[in-house]
Structure 1
Amino acid sequence: MIQPKSQASFALVLMLGAQAVFSQSGFTLYNATYLDITLGSGCINALAARITCDSYVQNFTELEYRGSLQDTALTDSVCTSACSTSLKVYFNDVTTRCNGKTLDDSVPNRLGGYLWAGYNETCVKYINPKRYCNDIIANFTTVADYKKMPRDEHCHASHIRRIALMQSSPYSIYDGYYKELLTHIYSQYPGAKGPTDIPPPLIKLLPIEAPYCISGKRYTTKKGDTCETIANATSVSSAAVYTGNQDLVPNCLDIDPGISVCVPLPCATYRLKPTDTCASVEVSLSFEPGRLRRYNDHLNYDCSNLQTATSFWGRILCVSPQGGTYTAVPRPLAGPPNDAPLADGYTRTAIPPPADAKVAPGTTLLCGKWHVVSAGRDTCSRICVQAGIEASLFRRVNPSLAGLAGEACTRALRVQSALCVGPTYSWNMTASASESS
């Protein structure tokens, strides 16, 4: 017998309308008083209907592997034909009367389905001799890995039937682990075959937003890719590919195909030769000592890992700053003290927005520094860095970007729109009635 795979249970507690009520003549899953009236009276009555089963059956609302109850009398009390009929009627009635509705971001009959699936998995029997499959499986050899089970147990009809029953229902705990187990069973027992697909989820899954990528550019890996091949294709250092995508690329030499990795900020690159040292590279590029390390922070202070690091990260190094070299904007000669630049993102005096651009909706006009969005290269992060303004202040003075961050903010940028990147200190002050009168 393999150790059951555990999973967090969906306990039957007060869960947005679900309230267990038990009695000797059965139990109910929901109290109609607490259900959303928008479900309609028909659906509410179906959900709140009484289920005539042993009270133990309510434990099946906890989604888990159903093993032997270790008590034949208890199992017989659970596995009655009356309970089977009641569960079937409840499930079908909720399915019909709650059609097209949702409850707790899921199908309304989710808990009823858990009960029925739990009943079936607990009560399934082996034909000859007629015993509960779970009781037979409970006496199998205990192993940590199903691949180490004795073949006569692994391919026993009760075991095959028990796992296949889970696969047949979206209301069971059947997942990737059990799919792998069932596939292995079918491969070991030629006489048995059947579907192994994982049923679709019952709970509505929210779309997963791609992680923030500072460059805004992504690369989809191909078979045979390494950090070095990706670096060659994108003009970045191979070490930067790894450090920026460690969750997706745990091994630079063994990268799965089809992964969307974030491309780091680009740099001028150099392919390291086997005879190179930090000093020789710096001399060949007319660098002062230490510059190569500044551009490649995976290198040790004494550059002792320059060559050894290539076995994992690859040979592509940065020989310029990532993202390019900063070019200062020419400024007029220093004037009065009030003209000195500020370091907190604010400005002292408002200036008109650029004449050839349209101010973004809601953007404050009390602004002393403007940025016109250009096509293809601007991101919210880049604008903030270049202008020296905090991202939170940037979004407050440009309400069209409020509440947005990362790629969502960048997608909201509109080409040729003017954004404030240097509000005045008084941009958000409103004069009182006495002051304005």
Structure 2
Amino acid sequence: MPRPFVFASSVPLLKHVFHFATLLGIWGQPVFAIPMVYNTSVPTTLTDTCAKALLSDVSCDPTVRNFHPGFYYPPKTLERACTSTCKDSIDAYWNAVQSSCGNETLTASFDLEASVLIVPGTYKYLYEYICLQDSGRYCNNVAATAAAIADPGNSRFNYLDAVPSGTVPPDPCDMCFIKSLRLQAGSPYFDGPALASMSAYESMTSKCGVTGQPLTTTTIGFYTEEPVVTPAPCMGKKYSIQPGDDCYSISRSQGVGTAWLLSDNNLASYCDDFPTSGDLCIVNTCKTYTVKPKDTCGGIAKSANITIPQLKAWNPIINAGCYNMDRLNGTQLCISAPGTEWVPPSVTDLPGATVTTPAPVPTDAASGSNTYCGRWYKVKKGDYCNLLVLKFAISMEDFIFLNPAINSNCTNLYADESYCVQAVGDINTYSGKPGYITTPTGAIPTAIETPFPARPNATAAPYERLNPSLPLAKGTRDGCVHYFDGADYQFNLTDTDWHSNCEVAIEVYGVDPESFAVWNAGLGNVSQPECAFKEGFRYCGSYYLQKDDVESENPTPTMPPDTTTTAATTTGPSPTSPTMTGQPSTCNKWHTVEQGDTCDTVTQKYGLKREEFLAWNPSVSSDCSQNFWLGYAYCVGVEGTTPPMTTTTTNVPTPRPTKPPAEWTQPGIAENCVKWDRATSGDYCAALAERNGITVAQLAEWNTALGANGSKCDTQFWLDYYYCVAVSG
């Protein structure tokens, strides 16, 4: 790759031969002949004619070669440098390079190939910019005065550190500023393109009332090789854009997430510059939902009977905290898995390669390794046990069995020693394995005798387990110090400040919610009100010992004290969150809306009628679709009303109606179904089947939406839906 071009002004003076001839002009001023480019900077890829033009001299003061944008120069320097001779010479230099170099290029910034004219063009622009005049004034000096007044003592290039007293600040609409900005914005060099894109010049002329001086822009000839893009074949179906279509209507009519539609067709996000004609590829189709104002991830997931993680996984456009929902209004989100259904590949069992004869024992066999070995492997530097067991398809247990010198942690594997990595025949027939049988010697007996010594049957009564362990709940880890029965945390939390029984357990065991959620991954988000425990299963209360674990290994679950005031008071408490207008001054109880709340969940929690809630919160619409906002406080109790009576409830199995509502069932349910069960939070196919004494295969047979043998349980088993668990006949 040719080296990037370096301008003469950036090369140290000692690296080149600086020749100039001093001639006296008619005014007695010296006229210089200076090179703008040095021989060491000319790319070897240029032709000799082009290189010679670049190396030609220019009749300018040496200062011109070092002009820098944004620097201020004293008036005497500008009078010496800004001459008609210099201007004509720079113009001639530009014309000579243009005619000699043609379309030749050099490597400029960012490894872009640019026209050689970028060299004389840069010098030409800097000369015009620094030497710009208006009404006999150098605009560079006008700018220096304005800068010195605005920021005394910080003038660039040590010029005009102090402003003479009585100096009048230049007018912001001074024609010098207008002309300078016009020259900058119309140029392709330095900040020109940025100023043009911001319409800075048009804004300034409009503000200052300047007319008749339109902006003209020029460009640099950059040359880039455009890659040939071969469009990928459409893996879905094609859709031709119709008149009046937009990305919202297409994604809605074609059943595809809006973000998926844009991504699959390499279009700009958020429907920017959406095409009005042509074909689109529809790939990731799904069941869609139209986002409405004030929608939240929790609300959408709940209405679609899916989890928030599923919603995010199926819609990568949603950011981690669901904070960009306001930008998705009107778009389609997937509330089922996008794309075609994944079909697991068929697995063909390959016959195992069984070794029937032992391999020769190498001289470097590891000490203690079983010499009755079907295959040996010489360990190399960098090998480790897990790598060997994967490479030779042998379990760690069998590898250590064949090489007993290896310790249980496999930390003493030595390089340059050979280890046995395959048994001869079935390893279970080796001595020490359960299938081992001694080989009789001499005459073969008429009856096969057991190889194990005869022992009497055990007569001691088995010890009775007073507290047999319950099965672990789905997602609950083993090895915890404290477990508890889900049945112990079925408290009625009505009229309390507790959001869920999960929150109660977290408080009882004194752990943080994040750790509790990790130990009991099947609970999902433990901060949500719907977090609950299933009876008959164990949950992890603490994975490690707590500092209070002195008197008891398992704390007795009790209800923490309820801090909620249920009696009416004369002066109600002030809400801790923003409120709506119209709420009664006698309100003595408030509820702050959290993720997942609805009017129904709030009224149920406080034992209210919908009419009471709406009367105390008149800003909320009758269907709760307006002004029921996340993070706002709503009145749920007023003076003079009797708080709802708290009753103790006993957990009962989920009701199993003979015929559930149609909207809560899926298609494909057995016609002769006589018993139903509803999927509750934390349920999965196997749990529901086990609860009803049937197999997953039976559950799937009577509920075909779950797929053959439950193959679709991961995506089609929906919260709060009813499933057939028994049939007649």
Instruction: Give the TM-score normalised by the residue count of structure 2.
Output: 0.33
State the match for 2:342 in structure 1: 326
Deviation at 1:119, TM superposition (A): 0.9
- 1:185-221 per-residue CA deviation (whole Å, 9 max, x = no partner) reads 33234452333253222332454899x9998899999
Q: Counterpart of 1:68 in structure 2: which amino acid? A: Y
Match of 1:156 among 146, 155, 174: 174
Alignment deviations for residues 105-161 of structure 1 (CA, whole Å, 9 cap, x no partner): 22223211211221111112112xx210121233347889xxxxxxx8343222222
CA contact (8 A) 2:288 2:335 kept: yes
How is 1:159-308 mapped onto 2 (pairs within 5 angstroms)?
Answer: 159-167=177-185, 169-170=187-188, 173-178=191-196, 180-207=199-226, 231-232=251-252, 235-238=255-258, 249=269, 252=270, 256-258=272-274, 266-271=284-289, 278-282=301-305, 295-296=314-315
- What is the match of residue 113 of structure 1? 121
How far apart are the structure 2 equivalents of 1:311 and 1:87? 57
2:62 to 40, 44, 55: 55
Distance in 2 (alpha carbons) for counterparts of 1:120 and 1:26: 19
CA gap 1:297/1:28 in 2 versus in 1, 3 angstroms: closer
- Confirm or deny: 8 A CA contact 1:53 1:86 kept in the other structure: yes
Aligned residues: 299
Q: Distance in 2 between matches of 1:125 and 1:300?
A: 54
Q: How much has 1:31 moved relative to structure 2?
A: 3.6
Query: In the alignment, what sits opposite 1:43?
Result: 50
Do structure 1's residue 336 and structure 2's residue 369 form an aligned pair?
Answer: no
Within the candidate set 108, 114, 134, 1:126 is matched to 134
8 Å contact kept, 2:49–2:100: yes
TM-score, structure 1 as length reference: 0.52
For residues 214-266 of structure 1, the C-alpha deviation after alignment (integer angstroms, 9 at most, x for no partner) is 988999999x99985574366433565799999954xx5xx543589x98951
C-alpha distance in structure 1 between counterparts of 2:62 and 2:308, whole Å: 78
Q: Distance in 2 between matches of 1:159 and 1:264?
A: 54
Instruction: Supply the AA of the counterpart residue of 2:127.
Output: Y
Q: CA deviation at 1:175?
A: 1.6
User: Which residue of the partner structure matches residue 102 of structure 2?
Assistant: 99
Going from structure 1 to structure 2, the CA distance change for 1:331 and 1:165 (only over 3 Å counts) comes to: closer
Residues 169-193 of structure 1, C-alpha deviations (whole Å, 9 max, x = no match): 5556422324612111332344523
Task: Determine if the alignment matches structure 1 residue 80 to structure 2 residue 100.
Answer: no
Q: Is the 8 A contact 1:42 1:97 kept in 2?
A: yes
State the alpha-carbon separation in 2 of the partners of residues 138 and 186 from structure 1: 21
Amino-acid identity (%): 19
CA contact (8 A) 2:256 2:288 kept: no
- Which has the higher Rg, Structure 1 or Structure 2? 2
Deviation at 1:80, TM superposition (A): 2.6
Point out where structure 1 has 5 or more consecutive residues left out of the alignment. Answer: 1-8, 145-151, 339-437
Contiguous gaps of at least 5 residues in structure 2 = 21-31, 108-112, 152-169, 354-729
Q: Tell me the CA shift for residue 49 of structure 1.
A: 1.0
Deviations 1:343-392 (A, max 9, x none): xxxxxxxxxxxxxxxxxxxxxxxxxxxxxxxxxxxxxxxxxxxxxxxxxx
**Aligned equivalents of 1:318, 1:238: Cα separation in 2:** 9
User: Offset at 1:100?
Assistant: 3.2
SS at match of 1:112: helix
What is the alpha-carbon distance in structure 1 between the residues aligned to residue 92 and residue 308 of structure 2? 81
CA distance in 1, matches of 2:246, 2:76: 60
Compute the displacement of 1:336 (Å).
0.8
Structure 2 residue matching 1:103: 3-state secondary structure: strand
Greater relative contact order (Cα < 8 A, sep 6+): 1
- Measured in 2, the distance between the counterparts of 1:99 and 1:298 equals 49
Across the aligned residues of Structure 1 and Structure 2, the Cα RMSD in angstroms comes to 5.2
Return the letter of the residue paired with 1:337: G
